[in-house]
Amino acid sequence: MMLRTYRVLYSQAGPSAGSWQPLNFDEGAFRLKGTGELTRALLVLRLCAWPPLVTHGLALQAWSQRLLGSRISGALLRASIYGQFVAGETAEEVRRCVQQLQTLGLRPLLAVPTEEEPDSAAKTGEAWYEGNLRAMLRCVDLSRDLLETPGPARNNLMQLKMTALTSTRLCKELTSWVRRPGASLELSPERLAEAMDSGRNLQVSCLNAEQNGHLQAALSRLHRVAQHARAQHVRLLVDAEYTSLNPALSLLVAALATRWNSPREGGPWVWNTYQAYLKDTHERLGRDAEAAHRAGLAFGVKLVRGAYLVKERAVARLQGTEDPTRPDYEATNRSYSRCLELMLNQIQAKGGGYATKGGTVRCSGEDSTDV
């Protein structure tokens, strides 16, 4: 399991005074790291900034396994990149890592690094998604157990990757449908939420029989994760992905939110991610916040600058469409600040139904801050 760590200032009705302290790197943040760990971190940083390795990483890994064998190749990965970005291979290793970070005022956000890349040729049948579901449920339990030490249960967090439980092909099909003007009410969040809750078969006219079956199974998996997370007091922060998938992912998040972010549940238990490097993020964030307010739902936001920049621009060039991303880092920062200000204003104006957060330590290309 990957581990992202977060310094949390959680705003609902308003945080109590003294509930958090700013992260300060001048007073021993690195004192828990040995010389070997710091050397490894510097080495991995340099390697990840080397374009040939980034471009041909998978091919080099395959070559390493053929030349050195799986055991030696795996040992080298564990001692370098894997060891840098993964909290541990067992629950006990993860627990020790979290305890170390907690001494610095950091809280964990566990992530199961299992997903299906768009247009992947991998064979990913229902058994694969069901296996991912079992991993997600174990991750919920571990996320809860890691914070059995004193502290508010509301800060138990876990990342949820939709494409670990739902086919990217289905997500692309749903995206193409919901983007159409006057998209059918067959795909309303309320209808999907009802299907999740009741378990009754959902038939959507734009999908064939196989796709409808997979959608029903995916809704069941998502519901089981959210239900278990709610029971264990773990908040689910759903990752955003590629723009070709995000409308479908947001629809599924809205369905989960309809069921689990209502006042009777004490939400928000399901949070969506908003990528500031996309041009339309501020508009979508404002629209979604207002929709949640009108529906009487709590609204959780994970705000990030974003990943997938190179891939998004390459796809736009290939398809001859407009680049969906901001032109540079400074423009992304301005977008991020606008989104942050928007949510702060929403919290100030409308009170406890809003919560916003992000990460200060990153392990997979996203950079964000806390509200």
Give the pLDDT of residue 368.
37
Task: Find tokens 């967090």 and name the residue.
Answer: 157
Q: What is the DSSP letter of 245?
A: T
240, 326: one domain: yes
Assigned domain for 95 exists: no
Distance of CA 32 to the CA centre of its chain: 27
258, 290: one domain: yes
84, 203: one domain: no
Give the pLDDT of residue 96.
86
Give the pLDDT of residue 370.
34
Assigned domain for 124 exists: yes
Q: How far apart are CA 97 and CA 5, in angstroms?
A: 10
- For the chain, the first-to-last Cα distance in angstroms comes to 26
On whether the CB atoms of residues 6 and 157 are closer than 8 A, the answer is yes
51, 129: one domain: no
Residues in the chain, pLDDT under 50: 2-18, 150-153, 358-371
Give the pLDDT of residue 264.
85
Nearest Cα to Cα of residue 187 among 212, 223, 156 = 212
54, 191: one domain: no
Give the pLDDT of residue 155.
63
Assigned domain for 362 exists: no
Give the pLDDT of residue 150.
43
Crossing angle for the helix pair 189-198 and 246-260, to the nearest 10 degrees: 60
H or E segment at 235?
strand 235-238
pTM of the complete model? 0.81
Tally Cβ neighbours within 10 Å of residue 252: 24
110, 80: one domain: no
Number of structural domains in the chain: 2
Q: How far apart are CA 274 and CA 285, in angstroms?
A: 7
H or E segment at 231?
helix 209-231
Give the domain-ending residue among 41, 57, 90: 90
Q: How far apart are CA 254 and CA 233, in angstroms?
A: 20
Task: Find tokens 């945080």 and name the residue.
Answer: 15
On whether the CB atoms of residues 303 and 339 are closer than 8 A, the answer is yes
Assigned domain for 185 exists: yes
37, 158: one domain: no
Give the pLDDT of residue 7.
41
71, 210: one domain: no
108, 85: one domain: no
209, 276: one domain: yes
Where in the sequence is the domain holding 265, given as residue range(s)? 2-14+104-357
The CATH number of the domain holding residue 307 is 3.20.20.220
Distance of CA 76 to the CA centre of its chain: 28
Give the pLDDT of residue 222.
96
Residue 203 falls in which region: left (phi positive, over 0), alpha (psi -120 to 50) or beta: beta
Q: Length of the chain, please?
A: 371
Assigned domain for 66 exists: yes
Give the pLDDT of residue 122.
58
Edge-first strand order for the sheet with 354-357 is 2-6, 107-111, 157-160, 235-238, 270-275, 299-304, 354-357
What tokens does 37 get?
A: 């760990």
On whether the CB atoms of residues 120 and 72 are closer than 8 A, the answer is no
Assigned domain for 99 exists: no
Neighbouring residues of 341: CB distance < 8 A, sequence distance ≥ 6: none
